[in-house]
Amino acid sequence: MPDTSDSHPDIHWPSGFSPEQAHGFCQAQAVVHAPPDTAFALLADVPGWPEWVPGITEARAGPLTRTYEVLFHGQRFEVFMGERVAPRRLGWSGVGAGVQVYQAWLLTAVADGTHAVVASVVRGPAAKSLAAPSPAWEQHLNTLWLAQLKRLSESAPGGAARTQ
């Protein structure tokens, strides 16, 4: 059972995907020196993920509204964009390669930009087998997503890199 003590109380976990029901859970946060709209636009543009999300090489629209097919480290995932409340909340679920994942984002305007929180839960046989040899792999992925989001948001028009 993962340590869920740092789970953010404002995240809306879908049924079956709470941190207590997961084989892995992690959370990361940072201040992004850009408005929430900028960060939200990057996160919500799933077809654009291959340009900035580490490990994703392809993302295209799926057969249903808000569904996508994503290649992550050569493995095919079906992704459903669930919660989408611009520019504050975003959540998506992915299924593939023996794992189910739900990733939630909270974006809150603060004086110097956006406080971004990303939290992920993973379930399934692959998640269980990865947890033993490398319990920090989920945290590493969240940290990479957050670092890239920060970098791109801050270099976008209206971000810190453009206004300094």
DSSP 87-150: TTEEEEEEEETTEEEEEEEEEEEETTEEEEEEEEEEESHHHHHHHTT-TTHHHHHHHHHHHHHH
pTM of the full predicted structure?
0.85
Per-residue pLDDT reduced to its tens digit, 101-160: 999 999 999 999 999 999 998 888 876 655 544 556 566 778 888 999 999 999 998 887
Per-residue pLDDT reduced to its tens digit, 108-121: 999 999 999 999 98
